[in-house]
Amino acid sequence: MSQNDLVSQIEDLGAKLAKAKASVTREFIGQEQVVDLVFSALLCGGHALLVGLPGLGKTKLVDTLSTVMGLKGARVQFTPDLMPADILGSEVLETATDGTRAFRFVKGPVFCQLLLADEINRASPRTQSALLQAMQEKSVTIAGQAHDLEPPFHVLATQNPLEQEGTYPLPEAQLDRFLVQINVDYPDRETERAILLATTGSDEIIAHEVLSADELIAGQALLRQMPVGESVLEMILDLVRSCRPDTGDAADAVSNSVAWGPGPRAAQALMLTVRARALLDGRLSPSPDDVLALARPVLMHRMALTFAARARGDDLGALIDAAARVALQNRNAA
């Protein structure tokens, strides 16, 4: 593909994404950063973990996204008694009219294109592992038979940080399967006023399809062709390596407070998400500011504080922000 063709396709995709984003924000009011991060996860072909209290519109966001992006959506409410077969599907024995019997595979809700895994931390580790394996492999195996999931396949999982009793926190190593962690906070006063006016009247806002599944797949391929400058690449490397406490690149604050840091998958996630952020902003290539903005969503769930740091009240987000600013300063100085 020539450079002019690449620029033209990127601009066309950016225009369609702007329309899709406008359609989503009409229903999911005032959470532009959350919408941008979810769109980034979809454009990168990844999965997202939404962390927030009940009633902040997480389910509404996913329902609207499935409509606007032209994806077949499904929802699973996770509970402690949920079994892997309830998500993946199972074989049932059927008797034909001639008396013969045969097994038939009945697909579970995971056979969709956009799955809302609501309160994923309420399911048992066995059920969580079944979903996480499907997220990684894009297929499920039942009775020795592999069944491919329909592309594109994305999972948006939610967690309620308020209640921990009766839950099964996702293992730290499994959290790495999520491209980004998105914190959904309370809206400000003006936003909440707009929500009240828009959702309690007689006129219902209805989302319309803007993109199709095939267009999203093509956009994911196009995203990987966007150029990334050397300064952005080096900043990503500086940031990720400085957040590992057991390397010589780590700052003293990280070495004294962080138990374990992000792996190469975090750098891969940053390389993809900075492109997506630039595309959503109408730019042809990412900048170091994109790395600064995406440091928290990409790294927060890939790091952990030591017990002593938690006892001191250290803030992991603040450490990541500080490391990102240092990486930006190093790139500016270079």
Domains of the chain: 1-80+111-225 (3.40.50.300), 227-334 (1.10.8.80)
pLDDT for res 235? 94
Q: Provide the pLDDT confidence category of residue 154 given band limits of 50, 70 and 90.
A: very high
The span from the CA of 12 to the CA of 18, in Å, is: 10
Q: Provide the pLDDT confidence category of residue 95 given band limits of 50, 70 and 90.
A: confident
pLDDT for res 334? 67
Name the H helices within 138-229. 172-175, 189-199, 213-223
Which of 296, 294, 291, 278 is closest to 232 using CA atoms? 291
Contact 232, 288 (CB under 8 A): yes
Evaluate if residue 164 carries a pLDDT over 90: no
Question: Other C-beta atoms within 10 Å of 97: how many?
Answer: 5
pLDDT for res 249? 65
Q: Pick the more confident residue, 200 or 261.
A: 261
Which of 108, 41, 103, 29 is closest to 273 using CA atoms? 41
Cis peptide before 152 (omega within 30 of 0): yes
Q: Pick the more confident residue, 144 or 302.
A: 302
pLDDT for res 68? 92
The span from the CA of 247 to the CA of 239, in Å, is: 12
Contact 134, 88 (CB under 8 A): yes
pLDDT for res 1? 66
pTM of the model: 0.90
Q: Give the mean pLDDT of the chain.
A: 88
Average pLDDT score over residue span 190-205: 80
pLDDT for res 28? 81
DSSP element (H, E) containing 183: strand 180-184
Evaluate if residue 318 carries a pLDDT over 70: yes
Q: Provide the pLDDT confidence category of residue 181 given band limits of 50, 70 and 90.
A: very high
pLDDT for res 256? 86
pLDDT for res 253? 79
Percent pLDDT > 70 in the chain is 97
32-43 vs 3-27: helix crossing angle, rounded to 10: 140
Average pLDDT score over residue span 237-257: 83
The span from the CA of 304 to the CA of 316, in Å, is: 7
Q: Which of 14-23, 145-154, 164-173, 264-273 has the lowest mean pLDDT?
A: 164-173
Which of 42, 52, 184 is closest to 119 using CA atoms? 52
Evaluate if residue 248 carries a pLDDT over 70: no
Evaluate if residue 194 carries a pLDDT over 90: no
- Nearest-10 Cα torsion for 108, 111, 112, 113: 150
Q: How far is CA 109 from CA 86, 115, 142, in A?
A: 8, 8, 14
Contact 85, 108 (CB under 8 A): yes
